[in-house]
Amino acid sequence: MSTAETRTPSELARAAADAIAELSGVERHDIALTLGSGWGKAAGLIGETVAEVPADRVPGFRQSAVVGHPGTLTSIRIPNGKHALVIGSRTHLYEGHGVRAVVHGVRAAAAAGCETMVLTNGAGGLKPGMVAGEPMLISDHLNLTAVSPVEGANFVDLTDLYAERLRAIVREVSPGIEEGVYTQLPGPHYETPAEIGYLQTIGGHAVGMSTALEAIAAREAGMAVLGLSLITNLAAGIQETPLNHAEVIEAGRQAEARLGALLGEVVGRL
């Protein structure tokens, strides 16, 4: 039998999808969600939990190395009859496992049948006046990781990467929600004030260490993408106090119930 090291990304994604179906008892999922910092409570508000699987029992997944990520894959039956796969085990680029590992969850979700990918994260706000604890609907992104999950001469169109039809649903549920451009940097260090000034100049509105690579992989796999950030703090040079991960976790904890209700209603309309 081949191992994770020798299987192609598509083979590993297929093996993961087969394991998810077997361990959850759900043959096919329709919607996938990766829940970042502050979004964890949404899983319990989307619908009825059918099964919760430790991520390390599924090929290609591992327990999350980041506080605030549960390390499970959860199958949820939504009231509209669809099934959602909640990925609570996100691999970040800074963990050193490579780009394939970062986007494996997205590819596994596509292999499991998902046609819609919802990506959430905690992010630093780049706009003066942004309020910590509030969500931002991602309209586009800047991928400043210097890598891509697309391999070979596969020229994937990213024109409408964060699907306008899905963003319209969010605006219906939450009129007046902040909307903007998300920037992914590799991390794990936070940015300098000079770097934040640069990101503002080139059009960024929020910055974090995930999401963009996953969104590209989702589009490559043919999925429609919806992205949401929780503004956990204002970025360096805008916020007067030093940045720390405990602050991110606390902002997420305080906003979880409100964000969960928002995402639960949105998913019910997808």
Annotated active-site positions, please? 191
Angle made by CA atoms 128, 131, 137, in degrees to the nearest 5: 95
Contact 80, 87 (CB under 8 A): no
Angle made by CA atoms 52, 94, 240, in degrees to the nearest 5: 100
Contact 83, 28 (CB under 8 A): yes
Surface-to-core class of residue 85, CB atoms within 10 Å of its CB (0-12 exposed, 13-18 middle, 19+ buried):
buried
Under 8 Å CB-to-CB from 188, ≥6 apart: which residues?
92, 94, 209
Contact 22, 239 (CB under 8 A): no
> Taking the CB of residue 203, how many other CB atoms lie within 10 A of it?
12
Amino acid code (one letter) for 158: L
Contact 252, 72 (CB under 8 A): no
> Taking the CB of residue 109, how many other CB atoms lie within 10 A of it?
32
End-to-end distance of the chain based on CA atoms, in angstroms? 38
Distance in angstroms (rounded) separating the CA atoms of residues 20 and 5 = 20
